Amino acid sequence: MTTPDTATPRSPAAPPGLPRARGPLSESILAVLAGDGAPLPGADAVRRSDPYGDDLHLLLYVLYELHYRGFAGVDERLEWDPALLGVRAAAEDAFLDALRRDSGPGGRDVAEAVDALQLEPVGDDGHSVTHHLQREGELWQLREYAAVRSLYHLKEADPHLWVVPRLRGRAKAAMVAVEFDEFGAGRAEDIHAQLFADLMTDLGLDARYGRYLDAAPAQALATVNLMSLFGLHRRLRGALVGHFATVEITSPPGSRRLAQALRRAGAGSAAQRFYDEHVEADAVHEQVVRHEVIGGLLEDEPGLAADIVLGIEATGHLEDLLGDHLLAAWREGHTALRAPLTPESLA
């Protein structure tokens, strides 16, 4: 019934252990997942908490994780527990309200929002993590960046598959074509999540799934929760496509800078390969996503334009919050993680 019986604990297939709580909401959810029979937090308390804060985002993260790989020792039936889904809905409302309020001007002009993604800032505008890492990133910062990003990249492309049954025609065919590449085009060793695991190993990090959840700041959890939120709800299919488009379109220039940063820091070839691969593959993916996935979806459902714009703007907004957090910490010379990497937290 629980996940741990199906895989040996050190195997790459083993689910991670439960993380540490970050406040009263996540504490009670984690106690329930651990089978302690604790009372669940009330919807009002969830809605009142900071929509960008550690406590709310850890709560959302662990509840979403039940739909991915789960946690060792947690009953798999809790994935569809009505009471937990009720708490999750309250947290999603708080998060989504904040995103609608803070992410950007909104509107229905998808072409304008996509064009804005393709405008590279001229040089470093002082807010770009990839510019910073390319120019002066130190090895410890590249390690922290990879540890933080591992929450995202080790489930890269997974939540985007949830949209496939909700699409048809051109949008569906193109979405699956891009996802086929993300999942290694038939080769397990080329799955992008695997390429990222290889990068982590090259950097001396522990590449096990979920390993750096406790270390990751709220801003990093929010970027992962965003794609889970959009992926799990059919009503947010437009936003999911907007998120996917943003990832694919902004990837080539950022990946080029990160490949250079890794080269300069003397990282191994596997570390560079992940970003080299994305420079090449995403140059094609961005065209397919823009013209076929977005174009096809809008042809079928023009009423989703505002949601696609929301997906694009919310992704940019949360990336900015994460980038600002990382750069502020690094400029002061201290860790951007909740606890610095130590010899024990490395591989």
Token pair in block for residue 158: 């997974």
Q: Which is nearer to Fe ion, 52 or 275 (CB)?
A: 275
Binding region for Fe ion (CB under 5 A) out of 11-19, 235-243, 281-289, 310-318: 281-289
Residues 51-70 close enough to bind Fe ion by CB under 5 A: none
Binding region for Fe ion (CB under 5 A) out of 33-41, 109-117, 242-250, 295-303: 242-250
Q: For residue 160, which phi and psi values (nearest 5 degrees)?
A: -70, -20
Binding region for Fe ion (CB under 5 A) out of 131-139, 186-194, 197-205, 325-333: 186-194
Minimum Å distance from CB 85 to Fe ion?
A: 30
Q: Which is nearer to Fe ion, 285 or 317 (CB)?
A: 285
Of 63, 58, 9, residue with least CA distance to 208 = 9
Binding mask 188-217 for Fe ion (x = CB under 5 A): ----x-------------------------
Q: Which is nearer to Fe ion, 65 or 248 (CB)?
A: 248
Binding region for Fe ion (CB under 5 A) out of 90-98, 143-151, 174-182, 297-305: 174-182
Number of residues counted as binding Fe ion (CB under 5 A): 5
Q: Is 285 in the site for Fe ion (CB under 5 A)?
A: yes
CA–CA separation, 221 and 102 (whole Å): 18
Token pair in block for residue 88: 């999750």
Q: Which is nearer to Fe ion, 153 or 166 (CB)?
A: 153
Q: Is 153 in the site for Fe ion (CB under 5 A)?
A: no
Binding region for Fe ion (CB under 5 A) out of 182-190, 211-219, 231-239, 258-266: 182-190
CB-based closest residue to Fe ion: 192
Within 10 A of 279 (CB to CB), how many other CB atoms are there?
A: 17
Q: CB neighbours of 193 closer than 8 A, spacing ≥ 6?
A: 153, 154, 155, 156, 157, 158
Residues 248-277 close enough to bind Fe ion by CB under 5 A: 248
Of 23, 33, 161, 29, residue with least CA distance to 88 = 29
Minimum Å distance from CB 178 to Fe ion?
A: 6
Of 329, 345, 308, 36, residue with least CA distance to 212 = 345
**C-alpha separations of 321 from 13, 53, 191, 220, 325 in Å:** 32, 12, 28, 9, 6
Structure-token match 């492309």, residue found: 157
Helix (H, G, I), strand (E, B) or coil at 75: strand
Q: Is 282 in the site for Fe ion (CB under 5 A)?
A: yes
Cα angle 189, 191, 196; round to 5: 90
Q: Which is nearer to Fe ion, 218 or 288 (CB)?
A: 288
CA–CA separation, 5 and 347 (whole Å): 24
Residues near Fe ion, by CB under 5 A: 182, 192, 248, 282, 285
